[in-house]
């Protein structure tokens, strides 16, 4: 039985009634690591793994939420105090809090959450959850919101309610995903342009190292502060510079000679990465996958040496990928300090590329990774009731090479 049909039965059993269903995908970023909060350009795809929220309106203002993954049900009201630590429900509460700030009070709701975006894998399970919950709460309240505003409301939930100072990439990717396309996002103007990827020639292989370091969130926030410090230093002589987007490395190279080495390296990563994104977009437009792959690999090296957000396991996964037939490029994706890599592989080698990557990583680390060939997918939406009966919650088995 498809997992979503199972979720609906679970919903009936726990809450009674017939829910509506909403879906938002996770993402991998092909290139543009840690560039979004510097207002640069990024190139993610929405993946074929999603968070599903089944929802119905309540007559009071309470939210009653059940997580299938954690097998936990919680109730909370709009005036309940915040939790002192981050919990899976913080993302749901945060979105309700954020949406209530932009409009009339929300009605209460019963929500059942089911997701096949792995947690802590750098595939943006939290943005998928936020956007799916946001869509559900808005729909139950008969409110509409344009997708950019929804993405911003979800980002605010994560920044101000959860305390993770993420950029806007993940939420925009979850909202604007397009089947068969990467998304060129300008993180200053928030313009999104879908760029087709010829999936008959190349495939995107995601590999979860199954390792996430405990300090990932605080290290992430620290990187963001370091970038802000770099921009503030530049502004002393170049007042028009708002973020690192506004300056290129050749100019910054001489300007930053006397800076602390760590700040200089962070700024070098961001400014050279932005140049790589532009080159990658040119390559993608011409279906020049060798160049796109090379730029992805350079991105990884810069995230490792200058931005220092990789991990031994991510480096092992990338090093193994580089040895495999069909390899075009590979890098870590997401915030880093563990999580997943994204590789670009020639389509005809993709199956063996994925299975060999999994086999060799396990041999090298003793840890079984989750490796799968993903498809660029559509963004968040309510599922039509007819689809509801058929939609599998997981990618079709043939698309996966989970070891
Ligand atoms: C996390 C954040 C994003 C982005 C990436 C790094 O996924 O949520 O906003 O900064 O890290 O590119």
Percent of the chain with pLDDT over 70: 95
Name the band, by pLDDT with cuts 50, 70 and 90, for residue 204: very high
Q: Containing H/E element for 309?
A: none
What average pLDDT does the segment 187-192 reach? 98
What is the CA angle 46-92-146, rounded to 5?
55
What is the CA angle 58-61-67, rounded to 5?
65
CA-to-CA distance for 276 and 283, rounded, in angstroms? 10
CA-to-CA distance for 197 and 188, rounded, in angstroms? 24
CA distances from 357 to 343, 360, 366, 401 (A): 10, 5, 13, 10
CA of 279 to the centre of ligand 1 (A): 21
Q: Which atom of ligand 1 is nearest to the CA of 37?
A: 10
170 is a catalytic site residue: yes
Cβ(36) – ligand 1 distance below 6 Å: yes
Least confident of 16-30, 38-52, 74-88: 74-88
Q: Best substitution site from 167, 221, 276, 340 to test ligand 1's pocket, by max atoms within 8 Å of Cβ?
A: 167
Q: Which atom of ligand 1 is nearest to the CA of 168?
A: 9
54 strand-pairing partners: 21, 112
Task: Judge whether residue 1 has pLDDT over 60.
Answer: no
Least confident of 82-86, 227-231, 264-268, 277-281: 82-86
* Per-residue model confidence (pLDDT) at position 390: 54
Provide the mean pLDDT of the chain: 93
Exactly one of 170, 208, 304, 370 is catalytic; which is it? 170
Structure tokens at 357: 């990557």
Q: Which atom of ligand 1 is nearest to the CA of 122?
A: 7
- Helical packing angle, 216-235 and 261-285, nearest 10°: 90
Under a CB-based contact definition with an 8 Å cutoff, are residues 32 and 41 in contact?
yes
Least confident of 21-35, 204-218, 261-275: 204-218
Q: Which atom of ligand 1 is nearest to the CA of 34?
A: 12
* Per-residue model confidence (pLDDT) at position 104: 86
Residues 221-266 have pLDDT tens digits of 999 999 999 999 999 999 999 999 999 999 999 999 999 999 999 9
* Per-residue model confidence (pLDDT) at position 399: 38
Cβ(118) – ligand 1 distance below 6 Å: no
Cβ(25) – ligand 1 distance below 6 Å: no
What average pLDDT does the segment 135-145 reach? 96
Q: Which long-range contacts (CB under 8 A, 24 or more apart) does 359-367 make?
A: 359/403, 360/320, 361/207, 361/209, 361/316, 361/317, 361/320, 362/403, 364/316, 364/320, 365/209, 365/313, 365/316, 367/209, 367/210, 367/211, 367/313
Task: Judge whether residue 276 has pLDDT over 50.
Answer: yes
Residues 305-340 have pLDDT tens digits of 999 999 999 999 999 999 999 999 999 999 999 999
Cβ(335) – ligand 1 distance below 6 Å: yes
CA-to-CA distance for 112 and 340, rounded, in angstroms? 27
pTM of the model: 0.94
- Alpha carbon 12 to its chain's center: 31
Structure tokens at 23: 């879906």
Q: For residues 95 and 104, which has the higher predicted lDDT (pLDDT)?
A: 95
* Per-residue model confidence (pLDDT) at position 86: 85
Cβ(37) – ligand 1 distance below 6 Å: yes
């Amino acid at each position: 039985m498809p997992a979503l049909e199972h979720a609906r039965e679970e919903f009936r059993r726990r809450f009674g009634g017939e829910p509506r269903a909403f879906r938002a995908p996770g993402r991998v970023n092909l290139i543009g690591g840690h560039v979004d909060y510097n207002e640069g350009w990024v190139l993610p795809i929405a993946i074929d793994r999603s968070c599903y929220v089944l929802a119905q309106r309540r007559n009071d203002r309470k939210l009653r939420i059940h997580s299938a993954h954690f097998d936990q049900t919680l109730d909370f009201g709009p005036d309940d105090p915040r939790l002192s630590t981050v919990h899976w429900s913080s993302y749901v509460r945060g979105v309700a809090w954020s949406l209530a700030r932009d409009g009339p009070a929300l009605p209460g709701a019963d929500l059942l959450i089911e997701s096949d975006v792995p947690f802590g894998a750098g595939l943006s399970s939290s943005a998928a959850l936020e956007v799916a919950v946001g869509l559900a709460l808005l729909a139950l309240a008969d409110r509409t919101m344009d997708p950019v505003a929804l993405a911003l409301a979800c980002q605010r939930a994560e920044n101000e309610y959860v305390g993770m100072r993420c950029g806007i990439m993940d939420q925009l990717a979850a909202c604007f995903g397009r089947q068969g396309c990467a998304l060129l996002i300008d993180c200053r103007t928030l313009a999104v342009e879908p760029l087709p990827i010829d999936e008959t020639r190349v495939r995107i292989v995601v590999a979860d190292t199954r390792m996430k370091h405990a300090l990932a969130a605080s290290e992430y926030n620290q990187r963001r502060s370091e970038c802000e410090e770099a921009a503030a230093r530049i502004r002393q002589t170049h007042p028009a510079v708002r973020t690192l987007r506004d300056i290129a490395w050749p100019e910054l190279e001489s300007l930053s000679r006397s800076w602390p080495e760590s700040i200089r390296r962070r700024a070098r990563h961001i400014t050279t990465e932005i140049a790589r994104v532009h080159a990658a977009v040119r390559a993608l437009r011409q279906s020049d996958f060798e160049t796109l792959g090379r730029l992805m690999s350079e991105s990884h090296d810069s995230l490792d040496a200058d931005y220092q957000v990789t991990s031994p396991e991510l480096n092992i996964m990338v090093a193994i990928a580089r040895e495999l037939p069909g390899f075009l490029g590979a890098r870590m994706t997401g915030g880093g300090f563990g999580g997943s890599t994204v590789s670009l592989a020639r389509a005809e080698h993709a199956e063996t590329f994925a299975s060999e990557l999994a086999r060799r990583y396990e041999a090298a680390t003793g840890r079984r990774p989750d490796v799968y060939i993903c498809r660029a997918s559509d963004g968040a939406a309510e599922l039509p009731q007819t689809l509801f009966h058929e939609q599998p919650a997981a990618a079709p088995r043939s698309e996966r090479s989970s070891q």
